[in-house]
Amino acid sequence: MKRVQVIIVLTVAFAFLICGPAITFGQNIKFAVVSPMTGDSAAQGIQIKNGATLAVDEINAKGIKGKKLEFIVGDDMANPNQATIVAQKFAADKTLLFVLGHNNSGCSISALPIYQKAGLPLISPTNTNPTITDMGYKNYFRVIANDDLIVEQQVLLAVKELGLKKPVVIWENTDYGKGMRDVALRKLQQLNIPLLGNESFVPGVDRDYSAQVTKFKGTGCDVVFFMGEYTAGALFAKQGKNLGLTAQIVAGSGCSNPKLIEIAGTAAEGFYALTTFDPNDKRPVQAAFIKKYTGLYKDAPGEWSSHAYDIVYLVKKAYEAGGTDRPSLIQKLHEVKAFQGVTGTIEFDARGDVPGKKVMVLVVKNGTFNTIVPTKY
C-alpha cells in the first residue's frame, strides 16, 4: 500500500520554522495534525499522528470524490504558548480544510481564538477539560468524553468498586489537571467523603515527587487520585513505591498509555487508569483496528490513535455530504448522526461535545494493561 506523504513541521524552542517555498497539494484535501511530538507527552502525539496516517492510507486507496488526503504535522510541545504559534501558521495556510488536535486542553484553549478568526475547524481527539465547550466556539469539536464523565467514573471506581474512603488528589497545574481536580472535589463532596490532601505539580518540569508522597503518607490515605499524564504518573508511582506509599493509585485517561508501564516498571503493578478506548476490545471492528495498528507501529493503540483515526473517517463522511470548505465542513459535522467509529458512536451536540461516549477501566497486571468491568456502580 502506498503510504501517505506526511510533511513534518519542526519546532525548536519557541520557533516554528518552515524552510523553502510554500507547500501546495494541488487538488488534494489538505489538513493539519498538531500535538506534542517532543517532550514528556510525545508518545501521545505520535499515536495521534499514527492513527491519522493509518486512516489516510486506507482512505487514499480509494480516494474521496477523486481526491486524496494529505496532512502536515505541527509540534505544540504540550505548551499553550507554542500552540498559539503553530495555530497562527496553520490559520494563515488557506489550503488547510481542518486541524486535527490539540492533545492538551490548555493548548486548544490558547489556540482556539486564532482558529475561530480564520474559520478553521479544530477537531480534538483528546481534550477533556469540561469548560472548553462552554466557550461558544462553533468551529470546535471533540470526539472524547469530557472529564465530567471520566473523573466521575474515576471517583466511583475508587469509592464504590474498590471501597476506598480516604482520598488525596495530586494534579498537574494545567487546564487539564485543574479541570480534573475540580470534578473530583465536587464528586467527593457529593459522596460526603472528606479530602485528606491536595497537591499540584508542574508537568514537564517537576521530576521529584518525594514531598507530595511524604505529605500523603502522613494523612493515612488509602487512594491517590492522580490527575495528569503518563510520564508524571509513572514517576509518581515509582517514587511512591520507593518511599513506602501503600495507597492505591487511580488515574484518569492520560495515564492509560503503555509508556507508563515502561517508565514505572514493577511500580506500575496495580495502577488503575480510565480510558475511552479499550486496547483489549474483542469486537470485530475494534479488534481488526487493534491488530492492524499494532502490526504497523509495534505499539498498542490507545485513545489518542483511535480517536485520530475516527476523526479522519468522520471528516470523510462530512466531506462526502458536502463539507468541502471550512464553513460547510463545520455545518456538516454538526449534522452527522450516529457515526460508528472504532471508539464508539460519534454525534455532536450543539456545543461540539459527544455526550454518548463511554469510559472503560484498565489495571496493570503482570506488566500489561488489563480491562476490568466494574460491578458495584
Cβ(167)–Cβ(221) below 8 Å? yes
Positions of the chain with pLDDT under 50: 1-25
- The Cα–Cα gap between 215 and 206 comes to 16
Assess if CATH 1.10.1370.30 describes domain 6-145+282-346: no
pLDDT computed for residue 18 by the predictor:
33
Two domains, one topology: 6-145+282-346 and 148-275+360-372:
yes
The residue among 308, 314, 310 whose CA lies nearest residue 50 is 308
CB-side exposure of 274: number of CA atoms within 13 Å?
A: 28
Instruction: Give the pLDDT confidence score for residue 293 in this predicted structure.
Output: 98
For the chain, domain boundaries: 6-145+282-346, 148-275+360-372
CA distance 42 to 49: 11
pLDDT for res 298 = 95
Q: What is the pLDDT of residue 27?
A: 81
3-state DSSP of 183-241: HHHHHHHHCCCCCCEEEEECCCCCCCCHHHHHHHHHHCCCEEEEECCHHHHHHHHHHHH
pTM value surpassing 0.85 = yes
- Residues recorded for the chain: 377
Residue 205: per-residue pLDDT: 95
pLDDT at position 1, please? Answer: 42
pLDDT at res. 26: 54
**Is 148-275+360-372 assigned to CATH 3.40.50.300?**
no
Q: Which three cell numbers stand for residue 339?
A: 457515526
Measured at the alpha carbon of residue 167, what is the angle toward residues 164 and 172, in degrees to the nearest 5?
A: 130
Distances (CA, A) of 189 to 157, 228, 297: 16, 21, 43
pLDDT at 275: 97
Task: Look at the alpha carbons of 154, 156, 158, 162 in this order and tell me if their dihedral is positive or negative.
Answer: negative
Tell me the angle at which helices 105-118 and 175-190 cross, rounded to the nearest 10 degrees.
120
Asked if residue 82 lies in contact with residue 35, where contact means CB atoms within 8 angstroms, the answer is: no
Q: Three-state SS for 309?
A: helix
